[in-house]
Copies of this chain bind each other. A is one copy, B any other.
Amino acid sequence: MFKELDPILHSQLRLAVMSLLIGVKEAEFTFIKEKTGATAGNLSVQVQKLKEAGYIEVVKHFKDNYPQTICKLTTNGLLAFEKYVANLKSYLG
A69 within 8 A of B: no
Taken together, the copies of this chain in the complex come to 2
Interface band, chain A: 10 to 19
The A contact surface, by secondary structure, is helix
| A85 touches which of B35, B37, B85, B92 (Cβ 8 Å) | B92
Residues on the B chain within 8 Å of A93, using CB: 19, 22-23, 85
Residue of B nearest to A4 (CB): B12
Interface string of A1-44 (1 = CB under 8 A from B): 11011000010100110010011000000000001110000000
Q: What residues of chain A have their CB less than 8 Å away from a CB belonging to chain B?
A: 1-2, 4-5, 10, 12, 15-16, 19, 22-23, 35-37, 85, 88, 91-93
